[in-house]
């Protein structure tokens, strides 16, 4: 176990929800399978997911984006608290910047957000993820699992592993 300091006062991502816990399990699993050099924490909230990866894999460079400027401010604070502020972190909001959208750039994308945005982001995730890389999505209720898997398969994302806790599903996809 590696300690992480997180202030989550005005952003999502305290670490107590099932989706966050299972994303962190997924991060540990993926880190054992592949060296992660570039990670995107999409909808970062407090930054807990990207920070978790960077704490266990110091060579990882994280990009953190959120539509909430206060969440990005809190992510910066949390990175500083965890001595990660100098690891090439870039902060953007998807509404005013597209600099995080580099073709086949990321080894891992993390998205613990709502079901509808996850459906609409498939093309974007396909564009920015390298082949043989991973995508961890969460914020999905169990009854929506097959629907999201079928949508992602169409873009060459295949379910690799999943976690189910209290009717919440976290899915690790591998991009082929």
Sign of CA dihedral 20, 24, 29, 34: positive
Looking at residue 96, what is its pLDDT?
Answer: 60
What is the pLDDT of the chain when averaged over all its residues?
A: 88
- Classify residue 123: in a domain, yes or no: yes
Express as a percent the part of the chain with pLDDT over 70: 89
pLDDT digits (tens, 9 = 90+) for 100-142: 777 778 999 999 999 999 999 999 999 999 999 999 999 999 9
Q: Is residue 144 part of a domain?
A: yes
The answer to whether residue 93 sits within a structural domain is yes
Q: Would you say residue 10 lies in a domain?
A: no
Residue of 94, 91, 70 lying closest to 12 (CA atoms): 70
Residue 29: predicted pLDDT: 97
Of 48-57, 80-89, 121-130, 148-157, the poorest mean pLDDT is in 80-89
What's the rounded mean pLDDT across residues 14-22? 79
Q: Rounded to an integer, what distance in angstroms lies between the CA atom of residue 17 and that of residue 154?
A: 29
CA 122 to chain CA centroid, Å, is 14
Taking 80 as the threshold, does the pLDDT of residue 11 lie above it? no
Q: For residue 51, how many other CB atoms are within 10 A of its CB? A: 25
How many domains are there within the chain?
Answer: 1
The CATH number covering residue 99 comes to 3.40.50.150
% residues pLDDT > 90 (the chain)? 69
Which has more confidence, 14 or 154? 154
92 pLDDT tier (thresholds 50, 70, 90): confident
Q: How far apart are the first and last CA of the chain?
A: 31
Its domain, for residue 43, covers 18-175
Q: Please, which residues have CB within 8 angstroms of residue 139's CB and are 6 or more apart in sequence?
A: 19, 111, 112, 113, 114, 115, 118, 168
């Amino acid at each position: 176990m590696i300690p992480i300091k997180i202030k989550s006062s005005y952003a999502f991502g305290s670490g107590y929800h099932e989706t966050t816990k299972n994303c962190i399990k997924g991060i540990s699993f993926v880190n054992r399978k592949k060296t992660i050099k570039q990670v995107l924490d999409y909808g970062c909230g407090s930054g807990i997911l990207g920070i978790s990866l960077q704490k266990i894999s110091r060579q990882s460079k994280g990009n953190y984006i959120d539509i909430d400027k206060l969440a990005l401010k809190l992510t910066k604070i949390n990175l500083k608290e965890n001595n990660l502020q100098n690891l090439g972190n870039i902060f953007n909001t998807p509404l005013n910047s597209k600099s995080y959208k580099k073709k086949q750039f990321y080894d891992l994308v993390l998205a613990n957000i709502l079901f509808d945005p996850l459906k609409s982001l498939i093309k974007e995730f396909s564009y920015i993820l390298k082949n043989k890389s991973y995508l961890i999505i969460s914020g999905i209720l169990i009854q929506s699992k097959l629907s999201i898997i079928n949508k992602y398969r169409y873009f060459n994302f295949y379910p690799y592993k999943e976690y189910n806790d209290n009717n919440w599903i976290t899915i690790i996809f591998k991009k082929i």
